[in-house]
Structure 1
């Protein structure tokens, strides 16, 4: 079979634009683009003004294979999050040539990735998390009680889904309860930077600025750094049993980790540790409210709760994309890659791949064993996946027996973001037992 060039596989301009337009992730256009790409150009090249060209990987099998081969497809050589040429240039100028404003696990390759992951991995293993189950259940019951007190209507995202996982991860990290609103605001401003309602610049009257200018909000990063630097200093002086103490006092090869890496670690735990879980929790309620037959099925058989958790994670797929960089000239799936080529792994497309999931757009709580890739795959498999699934399981174990009925009470809305996105509004009408 002959190897084809990038020019042979250029994606139509409208579909390419949908991959970089935050609004397309909120109004469904991106799902339409994914559907078209899987059928017609599952590994094509997107060329959009202001962004370096990138390969677009939409099939489940190809995403798995690329994720498995970490020596051929790097995280750290370029930005692992889609970024504009202007933003990339500015970051490199600020960071002495590095494309990374932060240096978290998602920005690392071997050998650093394994070393830094090992610092906290034990914290997120099932055997350790089991010790937290009682505390998480107390938080879950309080969340259900709070919802019951709303009197039959609420915005499930903004009154329930955002706060339950936030409280869990802040307790684990060691952030005082009084600082939780600040952490929530900063997280929404970080992941929702391009959203006209959530982004800091939008709230400051700059919503009309191009998305690539709003995407990189340095002020939010600075505020995170200032907060966690104080927390880190406190935990170095007086270590406790929380995760912040582990990070503050960590060493790699016998040397304390740098401030940049420590602050980055705090930020990824504090933000990804609750935002993605709240999105999947909101997605689950959205799916149940729209599909009364699925809700009835769940009420009749609570053993389906773990399957509900997996299906809501697949159906929502909060982390929409990650970028990878090709390390050497190579052939892959009939394409010819060149060293330093940029690839977009479209997890939300892989999770709706017709070759893997029957009726992939349908919300089915009894799909069975999870094949979704919402947590990634391979070396970069999400370190917090067990915690996320445990939190959601406990919340539904507490809520479903008390929830008699639920339906939409208005128009739900997704955030406008091409990296991490999920429900930002979910008005529901419900009856509690």
Structure 2
């Protein structure tokens, strides 16, 4: 493998090999920490649990603060205060060994802590400044108008395929400067590449990981070829903005590619899940949709409540780099901790009637975008897209109805509708 690929492709390949071996080793070692935690069979790798996890979350909340799944060798945190504490304590609970069951490292902000994380985040931050958001607002509103119109004009269509998927990927493509003629290829490679987040040490999981790595390699070739010919670095693109703020000239083409990958991971399927979940929620809570229509100033708060209720990224992992004490339990050094964002956002101690969607609730402590140093840098873009769609719906659509049965993803971490047929009743 060429030296220039080692920054992102090689770690994935090495991680797959290491995790197949570690799956056996970790299970045996994990029993050291079994005492003190509440044993559970909760497992987001179970497709049925992944698609409908909320009763399992309620059971976790009823039975304790620190759980342990001996089959998976995972410690599990589900309380909002505990998850926030762990996210903040990067000195003891690290992202540097991976944030999924696939244990690996790479020079991405999401996979680093401390000074290195601060340095990488500083490189990315200018691309998501208020000025950047303001410059993309018109683009977002135009897309929302176009896609909502398509859904209104085709009653019974799948809003996931017609709006929730195309909106974020088209936004990302536009802010990266991807030519329209390459947009479909870009979408296909991107969706395949982020599949690495759902790795499992099984024959099928290894095959899927290989396909994901191949897609990442294809994306890398595409980006570096574009860079070589002057593409994707214009002043209006997110990468161009980063170069303008890179006063020491330290950003290489390889680093720009890694930043683009970060954007894909953070802002593609997660925003799709937010948008699809929003249509499902408003269809099943017409009184709340009527409340928003009566007072459109509620839209920003309604989107925050949507983020809390559906939580597009249900969980991420961390690894302990020293013994970690929480709620009277000592989690041993080198353990894997599953942080349940989705459960934390429905913590009955933190939120009254946590399973209910309330458009006028102010759920300011939710962690749908993470917390602390690793707060998602792309959060303003996701919020802007969801608010744009809701602002387009409110004056034009009096009612949202689901036609048929909604199906939900069975991804262990990323949760949203995969099929959601809707009928939008236009305002007369």
- Please state which band the TM-score falls in when normalised by the shorter chain: 0.7 to 0.9
State the match for 1:131 in structure 2. 135
Measure the CA separation in 2 of the matches of 1:157 and 1:384. Answer: 21
Counterpart of 1:429 in structure 2 is 423
Specify the SS of the correspondent of 2:39.
coil
Q: Deviations over 1:397-425 (max 9, x none)?
A: 12221012111111111111112221111
Q: Does 1:268 align with 2:268?
A: no
1:44 aligns with 2:38: no
Query: Measured at CA, do residues 250 and 231 of structure 1 come closer, stay the same or move farther in structure 2, by a change above 3 Å?
Result: farther
Which residues in structure 2 correspond to 1:210-249 (within 5 Å)? 212-213=205-206, 216-238=208-230, 239-241=233-235, 242-245=237-240
- Does the alignment pair 1:368 with 2:362? yes
Quick check: 1:159 aligned with 2:159?
no
For residues 398 and 421 of structure 2, what CA distance do their matches in structure 1 show? 17
Residue deviations 1:361-397 (CA, integer Å, cap 9, x gap): 1122111252210000000000011111111111211
User: Structure 1 CA distance, aligned partners of 2:333 and 2:206?
Assistant: 28
TM-score, length-scaled by structure 1: 0.83
Q: Which sits farther off after the overlay, 117-126 or 382-391?
A: 117-126
- Is the 1:281–1:392 Cα contact (8 Å) retained in structure 2? yes
Q: In the alignment, is residue 404 of structure 1 matched against residue 395 of structure 2?
A: no
* Structure 2: runs of 5+ lacking an equivalent: 1-31
Residues 24 and 185 (structure 1), Cα distance of their counterparts in 2 relative to 1, 3 Å cut = farther
TM-aligned CA deviation for residue 358 of structure 1: 1.2
Q: Which residue of 2 aligns with 1:80?
A: 99
The alignment yields a C-alpha RMSD, in angstroms, of 2.6
In the alignment, structure 1 residue 319 sits paired with structure 2 residue 323: no
> 2: distance between equivalents of 1:292 and 1:255?
52
* Distance in 2 of aligned mates of 1:350 and 1:210: 32
Name the SS of the counterpart of 1:19 in structure 2.
coil
Alignment check: 8 A CA contact 1:250 1:257 kept:
no
1:62 counterpart = 2:82: yes
Instruction: Give the C-alpha shift of residue 132 in structure 1.
Output: 1.7
1:286 matched to 2:280: yes
Task: Please say if 1:115 is aligned against 2:110.
Answer: no
* Residue 182 (structure 1) aligned to one of 185, 192, 203: 185
How far the C-alpha of 1:148 sits from its partner, in A, is 2.4
Distance 1:210 1:308, change over 3 A: farther
For residues 43 and 388 of structure 1, the distance between their equivalents in structure 2, rounded to whole angstroms, comes to 31
Gaps of 5+ in 1: 89-98, 200-208
Instruction: Tell me which of 343, 353, 366 is aligned to 1:349.
Output: 343
Which range is displaced more, 382-391 or 185-194?
A: 185-194
- Give the paired residue count: 391
Change (3 A) 1:339 1:70: same
The equivalent position to 1:149 in structure 2, one of 130, 146, 153, is 153
Post-superposition offset of 1:169: 1.5
| Cα distance between partner residues in 1 of 2:376 and 2:299 | 21
Partner of 2:13: none
State whether structure 2 residue 108 is matched by structure 1 residue 104.
yes
Q: 2: CA distance between counterparts of 1:228 and 1:139?
A: 27
